Amino acid sequence: MARLPDGALMQRAAAGLAAACADLLGRVYGRRVVLLVGSGDNGGDALYAGARLARRGAGVTAVPLAGDRVHCGGLAALRRAGGVVVHPDAAGEAVDRADLVVDGIVGIGGTGGLRAGAAPLAERAARSGAAVVAVDLPSGVEADSGEVRGDAVRADLTVTFGAHKPALLIDPAREHAGTVRLVDIGLRPELPAEPELEALQHADVAALLPAPAAESDKYRRGVVGIAAGSARYPGAAVLAVSGALRGGAGAVRYVGPAGEAVLARFPETLVSDRGPHEAGRVQAWVVGPGAGDDAGTVAEVLATDVPVLLDADGLRLAARDAVRARSAPTLMTPHAGEAAALLGVAREEVEAARLSAARELAARYGATVLLKGSTTLVADPGGGPVRVNATGTPWLATAGSGDVLSGLAGSLLAAGLAPRDAGGVAAYLHGLAGRLAAHGAPIAAHDIAETIPSAWRDVHD
């Protein structure tokens, strides 16, 4: 801001915001627009955008929520364009009749939930038929963490400026943002080289996916070992193997009590009835899905010198010191409940603060942590950007889905991907496969596994 003429960035932001509102409205002339305006620059953006819409014939009403504390230049511009200003107490009807409500209450300067004066109008906007467009962020969410500590606006569209904020990518805040549209206001040269968060895109995943070369054989492609399943849960073993077979490793070894069930479904599996040490060489282990109380196998796997993926019962059975002492990397894949148990907090706490939970767990265990759920995050123990997966869908929330994911990620580890990449790519493919398989209808875990090849091809398109 210091480097540019006064207000230049705000004008760029307002122009992008007005254009997005116009797109949403289809026709601007004659439409009714209400601006909820807070005390800071977020309100300024809304007012300047409102002025642009008013000049194109919209009826624009501004509702300043912080009394006299309002962006003066923006207010003057709106008035010059024919916009009107209404006290919050008298704004209810305008909100009810609006085609569009613009949330300019707070942006990156906000803390805590909506204040008492703003919450009822935000609520009314949600109940009216109006489209709600949030400026930069839905007001009331924590910009840097995705936490929601009180009332927050629910938007249909969020027009954000310069860069995505963590709140637009991580639940529970992400749910409030609706569709997110990024407006480039020329901040890129000023942004830090290393972001807080990274979301892989198709091209990134395509570049990371292993592919066999002419001289490849099954061993050179990597062998993944699966130590999973129990007499009670043989299905977890079958599902982990189903994910592993589609993850790029050249072979899948299975050790555990579910060998018959695995072979019945997947005859290509190399089944061993001995423990991990005698099963033959692997380049990565997956241990834990449906494993019951077999702590001995978990300890044996952790003592190897290859990458290990710890999931489900394996997370509970693994000694923290054994994980910390490993010479090869470890990838842990808890859902919120498992992460909460390891951190000694309530599940709700993890769900409310996913980013800090993933980072904290990674630091405590000296392991890469893939935290599953509505937003999947992958955090490395040494810090650095956290990967956030953008392909997920709630249809993935089906029993056994996590077993498929652990097999898939283990296979990618065996193929040579670093834990962060294996986790990020696995979550990406798993989410995409879930979407392709579901197509708006319920799916079972094996549908996800069977659709991984389609997701893989889709990424290369």
Ligand X SMILES: NC(=O)C1=CN([C@@H]2O[C@H](COP(=O)(O)OP(=O)(O)OC[C@H]3O[C@@H](n4cnc5c(N)ncnc54)[C@H](O)[C@@H]3O)[C@@H](O)[C@H]2O)[C@@H](O)CC1
Ligand Y SMILES: Nc1ncnc2c1ncn2[C@@H]1O[C@H](COP(=O)(O)OP(=O)(O)O)[C@@H](O)[C@H]1O
Positions in the binding site for ligand X (CB under 6 A): 1, 9-10, 13, 38-43, 45, 105-112, 114-115, 135-136, 161, 185
Q: 172: cis peptide before it, omega within 30°?
A: yes
Find the binding residues for K ion in span 116-155 (CB under 5 A).
Answer: 134-135, 139
Q: Judge contact between 109 and 40, C-beta under 8 A.
A: yes
State in angstroms the smallest separation of the CB of 334 from ligand Y: 8
Query: Judged by CB under 6 A, which stretch of 151-159, 195-203, 207-215, 369-377 contacts ligand Y?
Result: 369-377
Known binding residue 96? Answer is no
**112: partner contacted, choices K ion, ligand Y, ligand X, none (Cβ within 5-8 A by kind):** ligand X
Nearer to ligand X, 135 or 331 (CB): 135
To ligand X, the closest distance from the beta carbon of 106 in angstroms equals 4
Q: Is the torsion defined by CA of 439, 443, 448, 454 positive or negative?
A: negative
The answer to whether 145 is a known ligand-binding residue is: no
Provide, rounded to whole angstroms, the least separation between the CB of residue 383 and ligand Y. 23
Alpha carbon distance 199, 424 (integer Å) = 9
Among 52, 335, 359, 387, the residue binding ligand Y under the rule CB under 6 A is 335
CB closer to ligand X, 79 vs 115? 115
Residue type, 229: G
- Does the protein bind ligand Y through residue 396 (CB under 6 A)? yes
Q: 248 labelled as ligand-binding?
A: no
Shortest distance, position 408 Cβ to ligand Y, whole Å: 10
| 373 annotated ligand binder | yes
The gap from C-alpha 338 to its chain's centroid, in whole angstroms, comes to 18
The burial class, CB within 10 Å (0-12 / 13-18 / 19+), for 248 is buried
| DSSP E strands, 106-264 | 131-135, 157-161, 179-183, 197-198, 223-227, 251-255
393: alpha, beta or left, given left = phi > 0 and alpha = psi -120 to 50? beta
- 103 binds, options ligand X, ligand Y, K ion, none, Cβ within 5 to 8 A by partner type: K ion
Minimum CB separation of residue 347 from ligand Y in Å reads 12
Q: Are 176 and 152 in contact (CB under 8 A)?
A: yes
Using alpha carbons, list the distances in angstroms from residue 133 to 16, 101, 307, 428. 12, 6, 46, 28
- Maximal C-alpha separation, the chain: 81
Nearest to 335 by CA among 401, 245, 391, 407: 401
The nearest distance, CB 38 to ligand X, in angstroms, is 5
Contact 60, 77 (CB under 8 A): no
Nearer to ligand Y, 282 or 405 (CB): 405
**374 among annotated binding-site residues:** yes
Long-range contacts of 272-278 (CB under 8 A, 24+ apart): 275/300, 276/225, 276/227, 276/300, 276/301, 276/304, 277/304
Pairing of strands 131-135, 157-161: parallel
Chain residue whose CB lies nearest ligand Y:
402
393 binds ligand Y (CB under 6 A): yes
Residue 137 CB, nearest approach to ligand X (Å): 6
Among 372, 420, 435, 446, binds ligand Y (CB under 6 A): 372
Binding site residue list: 236, 290, 335, 372-376, 402-403
Report the interface residues with K ion, using CB under 5 A. 103, 134-135, 139
Report the interface residues with ligand Y, using CB under 6 A. 335, 372-374, 376, 392-394, 396-397, 399-403, 405, 430
Binding site residue list for AMP: 372-376, 402
